[in-house]
Structure 1
């Protein structure tokens, strides 16, 4: 068992030293910590409702490559991030 002897150190000094080191470690961790946001998926109907268009328009956007559909079985989904990427700014 490893023993540490603290000579000429008051309890308050020890507490301050531990707190400072812990704060530095936490700050370093938070600088590098980037939580991953969960993906949001939308159905064809939800995308159509979002843009207030008909589902056939969503189909045409997929055929033209504007939207990237994802599928599971016979279900079609769209990533919210992909939907946001397909929007382009208009020149005013």
Structure 2
């Protein structure tokens, strides 16, 4: 058995010609998914975004409408959850 040494360019050329032979078009390499970094809002920022008072924000958190996170002794809200609360409409039927 003989070991064949090729440069990366030669290897790419061999692979490209084999793909063309089978009618497969060249595609760009698959990018790894980016890690999504969570963004948080302070109580003041969340209240301002929702256009409510801090007391209303506190009441909504206690009633379960919004979920808060305690990080480093601070109460924070996830940006995507606050935005979802803006678009979510709940109707109450009597």
Counterpart-to-counterpart distance in 2, 1:47 and 1:5: 60
Query: What TM-score do you get using the length of structure 1 for normalisation?
Result: 0.62
Query: What TM-score do you get using the length of structure 2 for normalisation?
Result: 0.61
Query: In the TM superposition, what is the alpha-carbon distance from 1:89 to its structure 2 partner?
Result: 4.5
Query: Counting helix residues as a fraction of each chain, which structure ranks higher?
Result: 1
Structure 2: gaps spanning 5 or more residues:
20-25
Q: How many residues align?
A: 79
Alignment deviations for residues 33-55 of structure 1 (CA, whole Å, 9 cap, x no partner) = 32122100100000011122211
The 3 A distance-change label for structure 1 pair 77 and 14 is closer
- Identify which of 14, 19, 38 aligns with 1:17: 14
Secondary structure of the corresponding residue to residue 3 of structure 1: coil
Counterpart-to-counterpart distance in 2, 1:5 and 1:72: 55
Stretches of 4+ moved more than 6 A in 1? none
Asked if the contact 2:50/2:82 (under 8 Å) is kept, the reply is no
Structure 1: gaps spanning 5 or more residues:
7-12
Secondary structure of the corresponding residue to residue 45 of structure 1: helix
